[in-house]
Amino acid sequence: MSLFVRREIAKQGLGVCNLPDLHGFVHWYDCSNDDKTFAQMQAEIAAEPAGHCPFLVNLGDDCPVPAKDCVEFPPCRHGKDIPAGSLAGADAPLSEAGYAGVALRCCHIDMEVFVRRELGRQGFAVCAEGSFEGFIHWYDCSDDGQTYESLKEGLVMGRSGLPPLCPWLGGVGETCPPTGHNCPRVEVPEPAAHRRRIACR
């Protein structure tokens, strides 16, 4: 599938800037149970160079320097820079208003505390910290367009491993669930095996 995707990338006049990201992309298209189509793949490849964290570039152009938030969380605000009406993750109620207040801070630390409290309420335990960090990336800021309900739904999916996701949550006191072929794992260096990326923001 990597060879097939590379042929389409070349056909669209694009080049690869980041191999691990390419391999992460391929993993969502490499098997029939991924429920993807060729048209979806073409569209996603075409849109990639204009994305916030592109791993493809138009041939002849230089690869862009990744934005800081493409590789790590942006710094949290402090003191007077904290938005009025925002809430700390440790104190915010586990509700829609509480989530919105924490997201207003755009601080991954506060959101992690909030989400871990929600995990405790639901009786869930983290089995894969890397996947948990990737999950936080999608919910840590108000401009992510998420809600408390979508956060809870995401946690349920993280527990069940519904396709195309992988189970990265278990039950408190239980053995962590098995993972499928699309799940993040430690592998040998390139090119003997594909490295999976954990966060996709």
pLDDT at 165 (0 to 100): 56
Report the SS3 class of residue 169.
strand
Collapsed DSSP state (helix, strand, coil) of residue 67:
coil
Distance between the two ends of the chain, CA-based, in angstroms?
A: 23
Q: What is the pLDDT of residue 192?
A: 31
DSSP codes of every residue in 76-89: PP-GGGSPTT---T
Taking the domains of the chain in order of start, what are their residue ranges?
2-62, 73-171
Cα–Cα distance for residue pair 46/181, rounded to 1 Å: 26
The pLDDT score that the predictor gives to residue 32 is: 86
pLDDT for position 71: 61
DSSP state for residue 179 in the 8-state scheme: -
pLDDT at 101 (0 to 100): 97
**Cβ pair 2, 191 in contact under 8 A:** no
**Encoded tokens for 200:** 């996709």
Question: How many other C-beta atoms are found inside a 10 Å radius of the C-beta of residue 172?
Answer: 10
**pLDDT tens readout for residues 86-118:** 999 999 999 999 999 999 999 999 999 999 999
Per DSSP, the three-state class of 58 is: strand
| Cα gap 99→146, rounded to integer Å | 9
Residue 102 token pair? 């924490």
Regions of the chain short of the pLDDT cut 50: 186-201
Lookup: tokens for 183? 């799940």
pLDDT of residue 138: 82
User: For the whole model, what pTM was predicted?
Assistant: 0.61
Q: What are phi and psi of 41, to 5 degrees?
A: -65, -45
29 in Cβ contact with 6 (< 8 Å): no
- Kindly list the distances between the CA atom of residue 14 and the CA atoms of 35, 37, 61, in Å, as whole numbers in the listed order: 25, 20, 9
pLDDT at 99: 98
Q: Burial, 151: exposed, middle or buried (Cβ in 10 Å; 0-12, 13-18, 19+)?
A: buried
